[in-house]
Amino acid sequence: MKMKLFPVIALVGAFIVACDKDIQNPLLEPYAVSSLDENAGQWKPYILSSVSDIVVPEPKPVTDPAYLKELDSLKNYIAPRVTPENRAAVEHWGAGAVYRWNEIARELSARYNLPPASNAEGKYPVPDAANPLKDPKFPFANPPYAARALAYLSVAQFDALVTAWNYKYKFNRKAPYKIDSGIKPLLPASDLPSYPSEAAVVAAASYTVLIAMFPGEVPYLDGKLAENKNAMIWAAMSTPSDITAGDALGKAVAARVMAKAKTDGMSAANNQSRTPAMIETAKSIGIIEPWKSQESPLRPTMLPTYGEVATWNFSKETMIAMRPPKPWIVGTPEFEKDLKELQGIQKNQTREQARIANFWADGAGSYTPPAHWHRIGAEAGKDAKYSEVRMARTLALLGTAEMDAGIACWDAKHYYFTPRPQQFGVKTSVGLPNFPSYTSGHSTFSSAGATVLSYIFPERKNEFEAMALEASNSRIYGLIHYRVDCEMGVAHGKTIGGYAVQRGQTDGSGL
């Protein structure tokens, strides 16, 4: 009886058990900000008419017994009881409240970015906001939806923070550890006045927007809100009165922002009854073969009237005036040339082309292209050690540009109503979006995003523009857009992003 192999098997077994396969998100080092942006209280908000629209009550003086009791509690009750889990939460939220809430919104977008399945009657049920967790879940967080959710999120954060900055420097209450040197903060110390707490402002504003955008996620968001606020107490960055004031301010500002959101036309963005007239318009301007759904059963086009939703940085008249020109018409030599390019790639797609197509695909189930650009913007702001308020400004400029890009692109798509290459037998290596072809959403989103980020981080202009061009080309390599869709989308996105840049140049920041 030979059992020589058993030790080897045992060894392999031990290796297998020891092998840790879990993927960890990279740890982020909390940073001391490069600038406090002391004058941000004078920056121009988006929705509020001024930074004093919302009144924040004057805090008790730092000599008040109630405040002294808060300090004593931080030092003698909370600090000795901070657990390793509390510390982990502090580290996590130390990356920045704007940064983390943007990440949460991206995660929710990915969770909800799934198209409804067809039912037994061959129809696609429309998600119901009143029953968000029932199949199909509400929302279907497709690119226009995610662009809008992230825009309102960033705008609410920005308006709330510029208001907070106004009161911070008006009341000038120092951070707990600046008042009592016996208090040791777990995050980098700062001279930023601590009332109202900027983290609580961001958390409450973000929470208020996100429970409206993702109504099935209230328990999840409750947990995040509580953790973000608690982390600032555990870290001794704020006292409970700083947090309470910040929470109230964030919620009040976000309520104003959501009141605007409710009247921006989104509730009428899926008006399918308008599509026959859209197709007639397209035919009347020469589109001889309009777009048809390539899904089975035929799926109605995604949000055909999203183009009518209110824009941020330019008027509807401007949007129509800068609508991209008519694309190549089926059968023309220019069209045939673009189609041939795709047929050639389909036959001999290189691995590098597939890689680029996959990298930027951001299709169903992902956080979508506008959220991809939010991630790029948030990372750039973190690398530049931006303050909360400057991070919010970055993402508000970016977020409004992304939503504007979505609206203007959807307007063009449903004005021209052009066919996808799949109507001519082309396959795809990334999955086919269910709406007309011209112009490419990826190209428009990416070019608008790169334009805004190049203004904010001019030293990285070449890098952002190269990314946008690659994202645009990815749709050709993935075989779902003609070159003209992509090139005109890039040009359109650049113009759209330019309007956000103009806004940034005149928002009082001097940046």
Tell me which residues touch another protein (CB under 8 A).
1-6, 8-9, 12-13, 15-16, 19, 21-23, 25-26, 103, 106-107, 110-111, 114-118, 135-137, 294-297, 346, 349, 351, 354-356, 358-359, 361, 364-367, 372, 375, 422, 426-432, 479
Q: Are 338 and 478 in contact (CB under 8 A)?
A: no
Output the smallest distance, CB 292 to another protein, in A. Answer: 13
- Please choose, from the candidates 208, 196, 199, the residue with its C-alpha nearest in 3D space to the C-alpha of residue 231: 199
Spatial distance between the Cα atoms of 111 and 285, rounded to a whole number of angstroms: 39
CB neighbourhood size of 268 (10 A): 12
| Smallest separation (angstroms) from another protein to the CB of 1 | 5
Return d(Cα 506, Cα 511) in angstroms, integer.
9
Which of 406, 394, 404 lies closest to 368 in space, CA to CA? Answer: 406
Instruction: Look up residue 459 and give its amino acid.
Output: E
**Residue 10 Cβ vs another protein, minimum distance, rounded to whole Å:** 9
Q: In the structure encoding, which two tokens stand for residue 137, read together?
A: 């879940």
Shortest distance, CB of residue 23 to another protein, whole angstroms? 5
d(CA 335, CA 3): 70
- Dist CA 45 CA 54 (whole Å): 12
Is the four-CA dihedral 392, 397, 402, 404 of positive or negative sign?
positive
Residue 27 or 32 having the CB closest to another protein: 27
Tell the smallest beta-carbon distance from residue 299 to another protein (Å). Answer: 10
Q: Which two tokens stand for residue 374?
A: 């939010």
What is the closest distance, in whole angstroms, from the C-beta atom of residue 61 to another protein in the complex?
Answer: 44
Nearer to another protein among residue 273 and residue 296 (C-beta) = 296
Min separation Cβ 268 and another protein, Å: 25
Residue whose token pair is 């389909």: 346
Nearer to another protein (CB atom), residue 119 or residue 272: 119
Contact of 249 with 198, CB cutoff 8 Å = no
Q: For the beta carbon of residue 81, count every other beta carbon within 10 angstroms.
A: 9
Nearer to another protein, 31 or 169 (CB): 31
Instruction: Report cis status (omega within 30 of 0) of the bond before 297.
Output: yes
Q: Identify which of residues 12 and 288 has a Cβ nearer to another protein in the complex.
A: 12
Amino acid letter at 196? P
User: In angstroms, how far is the first alpha carbon of the chain from the final one?
Assistant: 81
The least distance separating another protein from the CB of residue 285, rounded to whole angstroms, comes to: 27
Nearer to another protein by C-beta: 368 or 495? 368
Angle at 477 between CA 473 and CA 478, to 5 degrees: 110
Q: Please say which residue, 350 or 502, places its beta carbon nearer to another protein.
A: 350
Q: How far apart are CB 452 and another protein at their closest, in Å?
A: 20
Phi-psi category of residue 86: left, alpha or beta, with phi > 0 → left and psi -120 to 50 → alpha: alpha
Pair 389, 40: CB distance under 8 Å: yes
Of residues 163, 230, 235, 245, the one with CA closest to residue 197:
245
How many angstroms from the chain centroid is the CA of residue 123? 30
What is the distance between the alpha carbons of residues 315 and 334, in angstroms, rounded to a whole number? Answer: 33
Residue 187: name the closest of 38, 352, 30 by CA. 30
CB of 210 to another protein, least distance (A): 15
Give the closest residue to 244 by CA, choosing from 120, 10, 70.
70
**How many C-beta atoms lie closer than 10 Å to residue 76's C-beta?**
12
- The residue among 129 and 268 lying less far from another protein, judged by its C-beta, is 129
Taking the least distance from each CB to another protein, the nearer of 340 and 427 is 427
The burial class, CB within 10 Å (0-12 / 13-18 / 19+), for 322 is middle
Nearer to another protein, 183 or 398 (CB): 398
Q: How far apart are CA 125 and CA 118, in angstroms?
A: 7
CB of 22 or CB of 459, closer to another protein: 22
Helix (H, G, I), strand (E, B) or coil at 383: helix
Nearer to another protein, 218 or 259 (CB): 218
Closer residue to another protein (CB): 21 or 81: 21
The encoded tokens of residue 223 equal 């947990």
